[in-house]
Structure 1
Amino acid sequence: GNPQQTKVEAGEPFGAEALTYSKEHFLQRDVFVEVESMDRGGNFIGRLTTVDGNSASFMLVQAGLAKVHESAYGAPNYKQLIEAEEKCRKERIGVWTNYEEPTAKDEEENETENVPEVEEPVLGAGVINFNDSRFRRVVVTYVTPELKVYVQYAEQGAKVEQLQTDLREIFSQTKPVGGHSPKKGELLAARFTADNEWYRARVEKIEGNNRISVYFIDYGNRELITDLSRLTQLPPGMYFSH
């Protein structure tokens, strides 16, 4: 794997804890991803479920590390999400630590709002059939601070691992020549800081003072490299995509 040491900027309360929780439970593990739609930014919207059938969103809400978004209304597990959120709110867990109950005035102002009733789900409705041909088994390779999840198709995992083995073997026999002057968009080999190993990467941005932003194409994480000795050309046969 290609672990990433992530510095989480100040943001949502318990954001760092939610990221750590997600890495511990979903990173480098078999999961199921059901894509329902795509937003204007090209990001997939859907559900992530563990092989045990546990919903990632429910696990985060239950741990007090997330709140139920209005877009979840109508989801098969909406009632369970609301119940888990209510429990955390009452017990002041996680994101609800500093929660204050609404005053009588607040309740009066909300009386005119229409709150949709939660319908009891029909037995069997929304049950995910993971044997459906629309699903493909994947492995989570990286989770960003914004909780964007990168995955590999499970059937390609062995191919990627073999590629890494071949790359390291080649570089152990023939020392890579560092100091390569990269071009934007170029596919090359970059040495990852966390484990000092070589991985396939694509150059995303080149700035002054040899500031090279690379994207590790087989794992989904990124790194800013300032030492050109940590960049070199890929050996022949390593340029194919998967």
Structure 2
Amino acid sequence: MGTTTNESKPYGTVLIKAKDILDFLLATTDPPTLSDISRGLHASKPTILKILGTLESLGFVWRDTTTKQYFLGTQFVPYAQKAIATFNIVRVARPYLEDLRDKTQETINLGIVRDNKMILVEKLESPTSIKLQSTIGGSMNMYSSAMGKAVLATYDAKELQAYFKSHKLTPMTPHTITTPTKLQQDLKTIQELGVAIDNEENEEEVYCLGAALQKNGELYGAFSISTPKYRLPKERRAAFVRLLLDTRHAIENTL
């Protein structure tokens, strides 16, 4: 006869409800009232009010006595500063990227944006004998790489136009997209699919699948699977897309 355990369940129902309230305050455009929070979380006003009272006493929220609206408290500022100072996307993503490398047996790259370039901060080599040109610390164009295009697909119209104004789309190979119109069409497809493709656009005979890493409107970087094109038939490519999306979901849930 089986037994049930609570080992996998989070401890502290009130803590979970408090986080739901804080998440609600973070997500709303206009500071909410008690009624707004109660309605938005489908919870009773007395319960929400008790938790808000505790959060307010701790400095995690504050209430405007005139408008009755609630705001996130400044107590979060030092926490945020500490989190940013100690955050390392490589450390967070590496276990998931190692798993992706082992499942695909191909090279996995992790990059961040610096000065409108993708800077490679981690590279997990394929166990095969073929080595690709990229090196940790090296840079690549955003418009010609899978990671870069995945990031560009997160830009709004103003950011994208600023990028086009400051960057000439110089061909890296005969397959590089070199006009803003065609690149914008490609970015639209990336937005729909969640996956960016570099089909010999950055390096001949190399095919890459990339995805951006973002959460709560914050962009953390991007990662990609890189492989010689001859090793990626249609069926294997479809499997890689699923693995890429699963890995992105796992990393973003950890952020």
- Whether the TM-score (by the shorter chain) exceeds 0.5 is no
**TM-score, structure 2 as length reference:** 0.29
**TM-score scaled by structure 1?**
0.30
> Greater share of helix residues, 1 or 2?
2
